[in-house]
Amino acid sequence: MKVTLCIPTLNRYDLLDRVIQSAEAGIVKPDFYHIIDNGTKLGLDFASYISNKIKITRPYKNLGVAASWNLFIHDNNDIRIVCNDDVIFYEDTVKRLVDGFDENNVTYPLGIPSTNSFSCYTLPNKVVKDVGLFDEKISPGYAYYEDNDYHRRMLSLGHDIVGIKDCKLWHDNSSTMKNYSKEELENHHTRFKRATYNYKMKWGGLPGNESLVVPRDLV
């Protein structure tokens, strides 16, 4: 199967270029790249050195993380490696992700904390068939708790998140937020509170303290 590296980005094109260059420097290179440009400002000539294997999707608005991940699911049936734009691959990261691919589980580089496992992960078709899409209602247009929700749904159906031994990745956590203006930070806090409320409504508590086995449907 072909390997597609799927990356959503929001205006941090410097980070996007960095992660692509690190992937291209690897022992095993992705066969394709799918970029979702949620900032809609990425030039057509971006990453021209891999123009033969890059696809850029420009939505009419910022889709947020869950909707972006769902678009990757709809787009291809390859081995999907989905990652943030603020990661850096080591020369053997992609190879180890491919070698450790497990159709029954989501896998991630064990070299990063499990709490950041969805900053770079493989998403097999079998898991998607059983679990379905990410819930876009939890954090609409933003980026919180959709991974916690998906993990709980995975566990209930016999799937899990598994770390791949000796697979490493550099994750510059919260690098985008460091560049926020005061207004952007206020907007972030508002959206974060909304996502927190939605997750608690769906599962009866925050991650690690959920009281519901069967989740509520969010309106």
Q: pLDDT tens digit string along 48-100?
A: 888 899 999 999 899 999 999 999 999 877 899 999 999 999 999 999 999 99
CB 88 within 8 A of CB 131: no
Instruction: Work out the percent of the chain whose per-residue pLDDT is above 90.
Output: 79
Q: Region 11-18: what's the mean pLDDT?
A: 91
Nearest partner of 202 among 185, 191, 188, 217, judged by Cα:
217
Q: What tokens appear for 127 in the block?
A: 């898991």
Lowest mean pLDDT among 21-30, 178-187, 188-197: 178-187
> Residue 192's pLDDT band (boundaries 50, 70, 90)?
very high
Task: Report the pLDDT value the prediction gives residue 32, as an integer from 0 to 100.
Answer: 95
pLDDT tier, 212 (very low <50, low <70, confident <90, very high otherwise): very high
Q: What is the pTM of this model?
A: 0.93
Domains and CATH numbers, the chain: 3-172 (3.90.550.60)
DSSP state of 25: T
